[in-house]
């Protein structure tokens, strides 16, 4: 399995939903950086399960245990490893799924690839639980970025047909992102959240699930970061964000809407503001030729509905070689999106840290 990502800031995620622990090793964090563990715990708690009716009732504290790489609160320059104990497991819910794969989940493809030897409990290594270590690494990278004046924040931009307001792609500011990045279920327009909750509740009560989108912004990025063709900012962000389970689409700036515009409408006009080049609009999401323009980076990520739903579904019995039906038991998120917002922020922070490190710009405090 390939669960390692990055060039200069490298992460390697290990474990499964029902193994003793899950964790991450992060290589490439400079020595001498004072880490604020409370800020890491805040991010972990935003993603942790069992918060409310929009999430799985499985309760886990998700408190990380540091094994190495940070001494007396200061990074040592060595690989940093943290583990998170799995304390609330109910593996009996899953045994029956080994030969009757859940539609929409990775059970069937994992069965084919690993010959039925993969850990099926709780989705094993494919579980959304594996995003907890990513949030740990992201919270660490975020602190390095904050020291350089870079802020990252995301909000639940839609649940089903209910939409939040969008970021002002030109004027989104660090304060707004700091606020969003401390909240569980962050939204820009509070009225949207009640409607989103209602959508999630209706899906849950129907034994169903619902999808949605997360919009993420990065501000404070200098112009000139990223490389053309395969080392671009879009390439980097996309490759790590697609590592988040249930992601099925990403768009930058105006994204797919650009395909319906004329160039006269889509092009972001340049102008000087106090000696700095800015753009009057930001349809390109702060990226041209894979390289940052210095304007906010804006991206939206589409999450599919949670595959495990309790409604009866058609599937196959791989052992008997016949068609069958399943009703999925276990504890599942009726909507992945609220818990995924901090994961998108974390993935973006890791990618930006890696890109700055490649340019020799991720230096110690
Ligand atoms: C935060 C988070 C929570 C998730 N919770 C669940 C869940 O409770 N039940 C489920 O079936 N899938 C859940 N998923 C999604 C599955 O892990 C994912 O759909 C599956 O591994 C297949 O991968 P793919 O959707 O990327 O193809 C969650 C994903 C994330 C990011």
Specify the pLDDT at position 72: 97
User: Which residue has a Cα nearest atom 20 of ligand 1?
Assistant: 105
Burial zone of 264 (CB within 10 Å; 0-12 exposed, 13-18 middle, 19+ buried): exposed
Q: How far apart are CA 284 and CA 289, in angstroms?
A: 10
- Please report which residue ranges of 154-305 form alpha helices under DSSP H: 174-180, 190-205, 233-241, 263-266
3-state secondary structure of 349: helix
Specify the pLDDT at position 110: 94
Burial zone of 132 (CB within 10 Å; 0-12 exposed, 13-18 middle, 19+ buried): buried
Q: How far apart are CA 47 and CA 68, in angstroms?
A: 23
Q: Which residues of the chain have pLDDT under 50?
A: 365
Picking from 113, 89, 116, 114, the residue whose alpha carbon sits closest to that of residue 100 is 116
User: Which residue has a Cα nearest atom 30 of ligand 1?
Assistant: 128
Place of tokens 């599942």: 332
Specify the pLDDT at position 347: 98
Q: What is the DSSP string of 25-85?
A: EEE-PPTTPBP-HHHHHHHHHHH-S-SSTTS-S-------EEEESEETTEE-SSPEEEEEE
| Closest atom of ligand 1 relative to the 126 alpha carbon | 21
Picking from 235, 224, 128, 145, the residue whose alpha carbon sits closest to that of residue 181 is 145
Place of tokens 């962000």: 237
| Side-chain-side CA neighbours of residue 203 (13 Å) | 27
Instruction: Pull the structure tokens for residue 162.
Output: 């209910």
Domains assigned to the chain: 4-358 (3.60.150.10)
User: Which residue has a Cα nearest atom 29 of ligand 1?
Assistant: 128
User: Which residue has a Cα nearest atom 24 of ligand 1?
Assistant: 246
Specify the pLDDT at position 365: 46
Specify the pLDDT at position 54: 78
| Side-chain-side CA neighbours of residue 266 (13 Å) | 15
Report the pocket of ligand 1 as residue ranges, CB < 6 Å: 56, 105-106, 123, 126-128, 131, 244-246, 304, 306-308, 332-333, 336, 339-340, 343
Query: Which residues, in sequence order, are CB contacts of 352 under 8 Å at separation 6+?
Result: 141, 145, 150, 152, 218, 221
Three-point CA angle 64, 350, 232, nearest 5°: 165
Q: Would the pTM count as exceeding 0.85?
A: yes
3-state secondary structure of 289: coil
Cα 244 to middle of ligand 1, angstroms: 8
Specify the pLDDT at position 93: 65
Q: How far apart are CA 69 and CA 154, in angstroms?
A: 28
Q: How far apart are CA 183 and CA 170, in angstroms?
A: 23
Specify the pLDDT at position 330: 76
Place of tokens 């039906």: 325
Three-point CA angle 224, 145, 125, nearest 5°: 105
């Amino acid at each position: 399995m390939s669960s390692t990502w990055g060039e200069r800031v490298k992460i390697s995620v290990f474990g499964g939903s029902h193994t003793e622990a899950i964790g991450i090793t992060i290589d490439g964090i400079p020595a001498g950086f004072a880490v604020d563990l409370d800020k890491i715990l805040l991010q972990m708690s935003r993603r942790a399960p069992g918060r409310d009716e929009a999430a799985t009732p499985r309760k886990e504290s998700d408190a990380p245990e540091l094994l190495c790489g940070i001494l007396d609160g200061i990074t040592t320059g060595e690989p940093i490893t943290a583990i998170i104990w799995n304390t609330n497991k109910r593996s009996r819910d899953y045994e029956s799924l080994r030969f009757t794969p859940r539609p929409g989940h990775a059970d069937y493809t994992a069965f084919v690839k690993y010959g039925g030897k993969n850990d099926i409990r709780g989705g094993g290594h494919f579980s959304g639980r594996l995003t907890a270590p990513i949030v740990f690494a992201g919270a660490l990278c975020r602190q390095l970025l904050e020291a350089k004046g870079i802020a990252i924040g995301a909000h639940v931009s839609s649940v089903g047909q209910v939409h939040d307001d969008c970021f002002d792609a030109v004027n989104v500011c660090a304060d707004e992102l700091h606020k969003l990045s401390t909240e569980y279920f962050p939204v820009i327009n509070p009225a949207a959240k009640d409607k989103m909750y209602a959508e999630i509740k209706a899906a849950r009560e129907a034994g169903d699930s619902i999808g949605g989108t997360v919009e993420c912004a990065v501000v404070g990025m200098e112009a000139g970061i990223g490389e053309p063709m395969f080392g671009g900012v879009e390439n980097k962000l996309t490759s790590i964000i697609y590592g988040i389970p249930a992601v099925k689409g990403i768009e930058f700036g105006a994204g797919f809407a650009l395909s319906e515009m004329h160039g006269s409408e889509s092009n972001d006009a340049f102008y000087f503001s106090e000696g700095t080049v800015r753009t009057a609009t930001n349809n390109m999401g702060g990226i041209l030729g894979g390289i940052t323009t210095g304007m906010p980076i804006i991206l939206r990520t589409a999450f599919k509905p949670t595959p495990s739903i309790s409604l009866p579904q058609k599937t196959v019995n791989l052992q008997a070689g016949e068609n069958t039906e399943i009703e999925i038991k276990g504890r599942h998120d009726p909507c992945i999106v609220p818990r995924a917002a901090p994961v998108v922020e974390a993935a973006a922070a890791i990618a930006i840290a890696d890109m700055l490190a490649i340019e020799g710009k991720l230096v110690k405090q």
